[in-house]
Amino acid sequence: MTIQLDKVVPWGRNFNEYVSMFDLTSAEKNLTILDCAAGPSSFNYEMTLQGYNVISCDPIYQFNADEIYHRIQEVYQNIIDQVKENYDTFVWQNFQSPENLGKVRIAGMEKFLQYFPNGVEQKRYLTAELPKLPFEDNKFDLALCSHFLFLYSDQFSVEFHLESILEMCRVAKEVRIFPLLKLSGEISPLVMPIIEKLSTKGYRAEIREIDYEFQKGGNQMIRISCGMLGKHPLAISY
């Protein structure tokens, strides 16, 4: 069996996971960062608390904190139950058990919910969704996309993925996407076609192994340099 979701669900990760998933260095935390399809992640709040600069965008931000909380509650038990049923497809290193995973996720999402109204007022949380973003060209140093592109390959086409990545490249100098697995735990069949299409458009993509793995085999991210490289060869490292 595999994890089965017919639509994108609100499910947020925390600061420590973001640092590991996207291999963020101490220096890179000082960059201007866009978190795309951020959902109820506590990354923005925890980064802001440390004095860093993050803007998060997601269509779920059209709702208030109570409405987002109810949406989380609607999917929470189903996700935890499916994780239990598929226990052996995960690496239980950062989490002790499905129950512990649930506690960690809820703790992070509660941080988000508590400070979400203030973040909206400060314009740190913006209602926007891929593949169209309301930002000027090159506004950000780095755009991150966690657990959306590639993960939902069965729900979104290769055209949607390419358009979304090109849009992130328009507004940021570099893009990082994690994971490269589908919900089923298999490498997304869209990864290599996307890399090839990016190459023909003059972008350089690099598949990088990272020190984070929860889905078995899910220890890679894609890193895209968004400056046009003309005829330069694509760089892929495993």
Q: What is the pLDDT of residues 48-106, one digit of tens each?
A: 999 999 999 999 999 999 999 999 999 999 999 989 999 999 999 989 999 999 999 99
CA dihedral 39, 45, 51, 57 (to 10 degrees): 20
The pTM score is 0.91
Whether 238 has a pLDDT exceeding 50, the answer reads no
At 234 the three-state DSSP class reads: coil
The pair of structure tokens assigned to 7 is 């639509």
Decide if 79 contacts 4 (C-beta within 8 A).
no
Nearest to 171 by CA among 199, 119, 208, 130: 130
Domains of the chain are: 15-225 (3.40.50.150)
Q: How far apart are CA 85 and CA 3, in angstroms?
A: 9
Nearest to 174 by CA among 150, 200, 198: 198
What pLDDT, on a 0 to 100 scale, did the predictor assign at position 230?
36
